[in-house]
Structure formats: C-alpha cells, structure tokens
Structure 1
Amino acid sequence: MARTRAFDTDEVVRAAREVFWTWGYDAAAMPELERSTGLGRSSLYNAFGSKRGLFDAAVQSYLDEVVRPRLAALAAAPTGAEGLRGYFDSIAEAVLGSAGGQQRGCLLLAAASGRSGQDDEVRSAVDAYRAEVTGAFAAALLRDVPAAGDGASAARVADGARLLFALLTAGMALARINGEEAAATLRAAADFTGPLAPC
C-alpha cells in the first residue's frame, strides 16, 4: 500500500523557492532546503526526484505566483502606459519591501548567474521568461498606439519592449546590491515608456 504524503506540496515548493531565490540554484545547499521545507533529503527526492526537480517546481511556482499575476495586472490596466507604470512600481515596491532587508531580485536571473546558467534547461526557462515578459511589454505599448500595423511601428514597439526588459533586468540585478538604486531604475523604466511609444 502506497504511503500518502503528510505534507502540503505547494507549501514545500514555496519554502524551497525562497531558498533558491535567495541563493540561486548552485549555492542552495540541500541542508538549507531540508531546514526550510521541514523535510529530509529522502522525502524531497521521493517527491521531486532530485534537487533539480525541486528547483523546476520552484521556478513554475515563481512564474505562476509572482511573475504572471503582475503580467495579468499589466494587461488589465485601462491603458498600456498605466499598466507598465503599475508593473514597474509594484516591482520597485517589492524590492524596497523585501523581508528582513534581504534583496533578491529575480529568481530566474539569480539561477542563471551561476554554473547552472550553462545548463540548457535553465537557459531555456530564462529565455521563455524573457519572451513572455517582453511580449507583455510589447502588447502594452501597442495598446496606446493607434494603427501600429506598419513595419516601422511594429519594429519600434519590439525595440521598446526589449529596452524595457533590459531595464527590468538591470533593476533586478541591482536589487541584490543596492535596493534604492534598483527601485530608482525600475521607476525610471516606468517613466521612460512615453518616449518608447511609436509616433
């Protein structure tokens, strides 16, 4: 008879997510994951297969519970500019309000900065994140542009979305070093959306 799990998988994944978010994949030690989740190594491996399986679940949790709700709010805003401002402001506030003053930036970017950045699956996950966020930025910019169907306007929107993602990435990288400057960079991205809109 199979043994039923005596733990909440979502809670375990969220606890592990905090460890990976703080330390990145490479530096997240199994003893810390065990302490954080309250489960022993064998239970974690039985549930997730490996540290990598637990990380993959944490990444999915991060996308579903942290990234995508902000993208949904961006899409639901009355205008693209309001959505972008709200998006960047919410991230700036999160950076400044990090628990215990611990600045973490982006879980995916933290993971890609170590040796795991050479892992094809990690690179693929980060690139899919880039494409999803950049696509949401482009859609927001397009909402405020009448008749943006011509090639020049479409190219300008694509360039604007890339530039906004670059500012997001810069802010998330700075979050680990200087939270105030990270928040200022993120808010500058929100202020910069007007000039990015195609003529």
Structure 2
Amino acid sequence: MAGRWSGCYCRSPRRFRRIERVADDERCLLIVEDDASFARTLARSFERRGYRVHVASSVPAFDALLGTIRPGYAVVDLKLGSGSGLSCVRALHERDPATKIVVLTGYASIATAVEAIKLGASHYLPKPANSDDIEAAFGKGEGDVEAPIGARATSLKTLEWERIHETLADSGFNVSETARRLGMHRRTLARKLEKRPLR
C-alpha cells in the first residue's frame, strides 16, 4: 500500500509516482514572498489553521519547490526582488487550474495585478494583508471565477485611485513626492490625474 511522502508525493514499492489531488492536499499552501519576516508570520498563522505550508523566497526557489509539491492554495507577492511573481502565477495555473491563487500587491504594482488575474489568480489584496484577509480571499475566489476581467480591472483601478488620492493628501498634494512614494514616474501619475482629476 502506498504511503505518504514529504512534498505532497506518495511512494510505491516499485517507483515514485506523482499523485493527483487528494483531500488532504487541499490544505497544502505555497507562499511565494521575499520578505522573510512577513513570510514567517504568514506561515505560522496558516500552520495554526491546519495548512501544510511551504515557502519560496524567489522565482528560482519557487521553480525548484513546484517540482516537489502540488499546492491547493498559493499566496504570491507580485514583486520578488528583481523577479516577478507573474511567472509564478502562470506556472501554478498551468499546472493546476483549480489552485486558488491570491496575489499581494504594493503601491507600484496595482496595475500589474490585472495581468495576474488574467494569468489565473483568483483574487488580489493590497499589502499588508493578514492571514484572515488571505483566507477570506481564497473563499471569494470560488465566487469570482466567472466575473469578467473588465469588472476585476475596474476594481483594481478604483483601488489604485484610492491609493493615489491617499498618498497625494499625505504629501500635501505634491505630485512629484506622490510619484516617488508610489514608485511611479511623475508623467505617468500626471496622466492618471488628468483622466480622473480631483474634485
């Protein structure tokens, strides 16, 4: 009888074989995050909730880990040092479209989240996000799967505008300083403000 083996695989007496998704593999969670402290905090929180957690801090680490696990859930930061979480989202979705993927976005990557949704992410959250937010987003993903990309993009644009407006206010409506804080080129910010001026 096949027994359990680490890394979401099972081992038979004659050969190693990858298993298809089984009930307990639904609780296998992959966190792709380059902030070690944040990743540890999330991992501990999800372990307390009964998940089997694996952490990758870079795209190469993710690639190596994905060869040994089959996660039912994934949390992916879109900005991974010099790499991008988009390739991770694509790989996860191509390997198993049923994987629930939540992407985490920062100020400078809100627009990129639209692409992540197109590539297979179930939901997005602005950073910082806690385990309660993320687990709730996993649930929302089931209901959002059929939502058109346009609707999701609109939500992202609304969120982006709220961030811009908040940062503008904090900087005393200094466009250059706002662009710096958002990690955005000043001209890009100016164009966004022209399309949706402050009232």
Question: Which structure is higher in RCO with an 8 Å CA cutoff and minimum separation 6?
Answer: 1
Query: So what's the TM-score if we normalise by structure 1?
Result: 0.31
Query: So what's the TM-score if we normalise by structure 2?
Result: 0.31
